[in-house]
Chain A
Amino acid sequence: MGIAIGIAGTAKNTGKTTTTSAIFNELYKHKIQVALTSIGYDGEEIDNITGLPKPRLFVKKNTILATAKKCLEAGNADYDILETTDISTPLGKVCIVKVIKEGLAVVAGPNKGSQLNYIKSRMFNDLNCKVILVDGALNRLAPMIETDGIILATGASRNTDIDVLVEETKALYELLNLPTISKDDLQFLSDIKKIALVPKDSNAKTVFLKYGSLIDNEIVNEIADIIKEIDIKVIFIPALISEFALKTLNDSIGNSWANKDLIISDPIKLIIGGNPETMLKEVNRIKCNDGNIKALKNIPLLAITVNPFYPKYRFDKSSYEPGYINKENLLNKMRTSIEVPVIDIKQEGPSRLLESILSRI
């Protein structure tokens, strides 16, 4: 069995495609069968928004790709179509292909987790891939739940203030590394699709809400009302948790978190719901009130790549031009705050990144 690695950019131009290319080249060097797909579309020559050129992915012979049909005509690589799946995208059906002539490729893969899961199983089980790279973005994080770990590409394009950037990345790291629940609890909770309130009294029935997500006052109030009447030990939220709703829940439960567990499906459901730093603050409030927060599944942050480049807007010319923040400062502050490899991929190359990947195969 291999490993599926998600590569998530925190914004456009954070170096995600550069990171993907570098890992690719390293895997080619080690002759490891590699596959690539993406969540949605990327690899375009010109950035959709800024008009600046973007690198495209160079794929070598025998690489497996999952990409939409129209993308096969773009770029200059040639392919053998192994399967045309039923997965529809605005760029046509997603095809699983093998590269027969190396060249530049445009990848637009499935955009739902369930679809990614299918692609992954075909690549691992039928095509003997050892590493699957999933090109994604912070704003398209949900399908990343199907990966085994994430490499985060961040940098000045996300925020030119280094301190803010480091704080945000640290928050992401801590959220992604929430503790997981025991196997017994996992068995009990993994099939539940609605918010469940599990009483301390083992004879009492678990209360299920109409919704799977914690997204507004109405749902928060319902939970708070139940907690007032029943002594609850676990609040299980299988779907989305919004920043606003978690804050309201904290406000309303407060000290009553003591000896209670908030169990979430995975950290991504939390990260998607709001600003990572605010989310982390709310998570810490639960802990401060002697509550616990755990996840059914974790998606560990394997490494961080940083890019000091950002598209700088010139008001006098009404166009963008390259801008840079202090790279050394960025690397130092990031490395001091976060306990995973922090890499300037352009300068250092991908060998350290590959170590974190290979160690997991």
Chain B
Amino acid sequence: MIDKKKVLLAPLDPVHDIGLKMIKRGLENKGHETILIPPDYSPEEIIKSIIDNDVDIVLVSRTLGYGVAEVLGKFIDLAEASGIRDKVKIGIGGMAVRPELAAELGFDAGFGPGTSVDEAVAFVEGREYVPAENRSKKNKKDITEGYDYLFHNKKIEKLLDSIVDGILDYVSDKTTTAIQRAQIRRQILESNSESEKQKLRRDYSKLCDDVIKSFYESGKYREKTRPMTNDEVDALNQYVDAVNSRMNPLYLQHVDKNPVVFIQYGTGCPFMDIAHIKSCEAWGADGAVHFDPSWGARTEGFLEGYITHEEDGSVITYENLKSIKKSLLPNTLWQVRAHRGLNTPETVLLAGKIGADLTKINIAYGSLGGGTDPERLTVDAVEAIKYAAEFNMPFDVVTNEELCGVPAYKAFAGMLIVSKLGLRLGAKPILQPLFCYSPEVMISGQMEDNYVDFNAAKIYCLRNIVNAPIWCGAPIGFLTQTEDRVQSSLMTSLQASLASSLGVDGISIASSDEAFSGGPITIPARIDTLRATQSSFRFFGQSNIVPTDNAHKWAKEIEEGIEAVLELVLKNGNFVNALYQGILGSKEDGAYPGRAGRDSVMKKIY
């Protein structure tokens, strides 16, 4: 049974008392007696009210600025000099109040931004404040849940099935060194014998290019690449423990339909990556996407150990990925990308072995925009998708070739082919259309009036075709952001709300300095877009953004375009040739078949 208290609520401020009014209602609901005095009372008048009303508790609110701290300290002094300090508890609330400031000013408690009414009630009742259970626990969301991948457009489904048959037939007698390396890596990871591991490493190095081979043979690191020291690894572990012990993550979502929000990292340094992830987790990010280095996509084979380098993306090794995975909150979704390069099967294998939630595979983008040879990536990707299925890791099929200039309908045709391939191999694909100001719309003018219609058209189109999860990327708002952080944050947040309004399941967001950082992005800029997204979700709630009629018109056009492209792919005979010939994105569009790994596919030896 809690004692009923008499509480004086005093705005020591010319106008502001909204917070106190909310607390007043909370206190009265709990049966406490409250007296709210009007704003603009002098400190002496408040003191007299305290004496006249014989109250137990006083809650003062004030917006702080230079000099006002003195006013509040003085108020406490007046209370003490009046002889009431020993029998009255006094709390202070305001936008700039923190516990340290409250202590400095001599208050019994300080309530800053984000204080809940219950927190103030707990202070009045003299009990410890315990946040409500549902707010302190975030759950990991499976964004593929509830999707049956039923095709509404049967014509497209039929075309896709035929193309997938062709792909599987094409790869059936082919292999690559990447596939073989993944098989050896698996044996290394599963072996308990150090001597066997050493032998396997020697076998592995024979399948690598010279850069990686020299690491296994003579311990030599690639330029600008070095192992982390033991002290650095220890410091990283300590940092993670310290941060996790005080982690109290925010929620970005305001209503159930708000999508999960991913951030992307790849600073080059695992320590810095983790610092970015931890900051983003604290500010509400639901997931993190691991970016591999550009050079890694053109190198045959992976290094081993805790490795840092002075370039973009973060080096993929078992140890690096493991340390990042270990640092994550249990609820954080983690994706390791494998959509390009010469190590896709091994990347997905490592991700699966370490416990990643998601991966990223797209043959069309990886070979038309990601620099990898189409044949090589097709053979590797089939193997990678099999690993994704084995480890139950849904994979998204990103359509970033749109940024090269490939029209959406062509990019979507490629995405749907790889998605259908995934389904055939028992995996769960996630469609990843872009929310971007692409070269296509710059030329054709679909975004001349607004950024809403064409993005909505993409979602409508995909929903018309198949019941599959959608994760907009990557990141949303690409090419709509400028060097102005406020502008970039606003663009991100509006597109996040458009995605939510269209009922998508996930989004990736950039930091507000990502497009124009000219170097590493900063954590404050990450917080910018996370906070902006959170605010935008709060602003729109269940309400929707209503596109114009153009959205449905363009959705139909995209769908027709996809059908035409798929027919051409089929007519052409096989998917790999279609990639080389530009059917899924031509040189005129801005897409070039990648050269990394060209002519490296081998016949299987049985």
| A90 x B108 contact (CB < 8 A) | yes
Q: Give the docked Cα–Cα distance between A167 and B158 (Å).
A: 94
| A68 x B103 contact (CB < 8 A) | yes
| B77 x A141 contact (CB < 8 A) | yes
Contact of A139 among B73, B83, B100, B102 (CB under 8 A): B73
Please classify the interface of chain B as helix (H, G, I), strand (E, B), loop, or mixed, using the class held by over half of its residues.
helix
| Given A272-B78, A273-B81, A244 contacting B44 (CB threshold 8 A) | yes
Q: Which residues of chain A have C-beta atoms less than 8 A from B106's C-beta?
A: 39-40, 111-112, 140
| B77 x A142 contact (CB < 8 A) | yes
Stretch in B45-53, B132-140, B196-204, B225-233 with 4+ CB within 8 Å of A: B45-53
| B83 x A48 contact (CB < 8 A) | no
Q: Which residues of chain B have C-beta atoms less than 8 A from A50's C-beta?
A: 66
Q: Which residues of chain A have C-beta atoms less than 8 A from B100's C-beta?
A: 41, 44, 48, 90-91
Stretch in A121-129, A147-155, A209-217, A288-296 with 4+ CB within 8 Å of B: A209-217
| A215 x B80 contact (CB < 8 A) | no
| B48 x A216 contact (CB < 8 A) | yes
The number of chain B residues with a CB under 8 A from chain A is 32
Check if B99 is an interface residue, CB within 8 A of chain A: yes
Q: Give the docked Cα–Cα distance between A108 and B69 (Å).
A: 16
Q: Give the docked Cα–Cα distance between A40 and B76 (Å).
A: 11
| A42 x B73 contact (CB < 8 A) | no
Minimum CB–CB distance from A143 to chain B (whole Å) comes to: 7
| B81 x A41 contact (CB < 8 A) | no
| A268 x B108 contact (CB < 8 A) | no
| Given A11-B70, A88-B108, A139-B77, A112 contacting B45 (CB threshold 8 A) | no
Q: Give the docked Cα–Cα distance between A91 and B102 (Å).
A: 9
| B81 x A240 contact (CB < 8 A) | yes
Q: Which residues of chain B have C-beta atoms less than 8 A from A88's C-beta?
A: 108
Q: Give the docked Cα–Cα distance between A269 and B47 (Å).
A: 14
| Given A49-B66, A213-B47, A142 contacting B103 (CB threshold 8 A) | no
Q: Which residues of chain B have C-beta atoms less than 8 A from A113's C-beta?
A: 80, 85
Minimum CB–CB distance from B245 to chain A (whole Å) comes to: 12
Q: Which residues of chain B have C-beta atoms less than 8 A from A140's C-beta?
A: 73, 76-77, 105-106
Q: Which of A1-24 contact B (CB under 8 A)?
A: 11-12
Q: Give the docked Cα–Cα distance between A68 and B110 (Å).
A: 15
Q: Give the docked Cα–Cα distance between A114 and B84 (Å).
A: 12
Check if B3 is an interface residue, CB within 8 A of chain A: no
Q: Which of A36-79 contact B (CB under 8 A)?
A: 39-42, 44, 48-50, 68
| A112 x B44 contact (CB < 8 A) | no
| B104 x A139 contact (CB < 8 A) | no
Check if B326 is an interface residue, CB within 8 A of chain A: no
Q: Give the docked Cα–Cα distance between A273 and B47 (Å).
A: 12
Contact of A111 among B69, B82, B99, B103 (CB under 8 A): B103
Whose C-beta in chain A lies nearest to the C-beta of B104? A41
Q: What per-residue 1/0 map shows which CB atoms of A223-255 lie under 8 Å from chain B?
A: 000000000000000111010110000000000
Contact of B81 among A12, A193, A272 (CB under 8 A): A272
| B83 x A239 contact (CB < 8 A) | yes
Minimum CB–CB distance from A231 to chain B (whole Å) comes to: 28
Q: Which residues of chain A have C-beta atoms less than 8 A from B107's C-beta?
A: 90, 111
| Given A215-B47, A216-B48, A41 contacting B76 (CB threshold 8 A) | no
Check if A89 is an interface residue, CB within 8 A of chain B: yes
Q: Which residues of chain A have C-beta atoms less than 8 A from B85's C-beta?
A: 112-113, 142
Q: Which residues of chain B have C-beta atoms less than 8 A from A141's C-beta?
A: 77
Q: Give the docked Cα–Cα distance between A66 and B182 (Å).
A: 62
Check if A137 is an interface residue, CB within 8 A of chain B: yes
Q: Which residues of chain A have C-beta atoms less than 8 A from B80's C-beta?
A: 112-113, 142-143
Q: Give the docked Cα–Cα distance between A108 and B44 (Å).
A: 27
| A142 x B110 contact (CB < 8 A) | no
Minimum CB–CB distance from A282 to chain B (whole Å) comes to: 15
| A137 x B73 contact (CB < 8 A) | yes
Q: Give the docked Cα–Cα distance between A77 and B82 (Å).
A: 38
Q: Give the docked Cα–Cα distance between A212 and B104 (Å).
A: 27
| Given A90-B109, A90-B110, A269-B81, A215 contacting B70 (CB threshold 8 A) | no
| B81 x A42 contact (CB < 8 A) | no
Q: Which residues of chain B have C-beta atoms less than 8 A from A114's C-beta?
A: 86
Minimum CB–CB distance from A137 to chain B (whole Å) comes to: 6
Check if B101 is an interface residue, CB within 8 A of chain A: yes
Check if B74 is an interface residue, CB within 8 A of chain A: yes
Minimum CB–CB distance from A116 to chain B (whole Å) comes to: 11
Whose C-beta in chain B lies nearest to the C-beta of A270? B81
| Given A49-B69, A137-B73, A272-B74, A213 contacting B82 (CB threshold 8 A) | yes
| B83 x A111 contact (CB < 8 A) | no
Q: Which residues of chain A have C-beta atoms less than 8 A from B66's C-beta?
A: 49-50
Report which residue of B66, B76, B101 has the largest number of chain A beta carbons within 10 angstroms of its beta carbon.
B76
| Given A137-B73, A142-B81, A213-B81, A240 contacting B47 (CB threshold 8 A) | yes
Report which residue of B71, B83, B109, B110 has the largest number of chain A beta carbons within 10 angstroms of its beta carbon.
B83
Q: List 14 A-B contacts (CB under 8 A).
A: A40-B105, A41-B104, A44-B104, A49-B69, A108-B104, A111-B76, A113-B85, A137-B73, A140-B73, A140-B77, A140-B105, A142-B81, A213-B81, A215-B44
Interface residues in chain B, defined as those with a beta carbon under 8 Å from any beta carbon in chain A: 44-45, 47-48, 51, 66, 69-71, 73-74, 76-78, 80-83, 85-86, 99-110
Closest 3 CB pairs of A and B: A139-B73, A142-B80, A111-B106
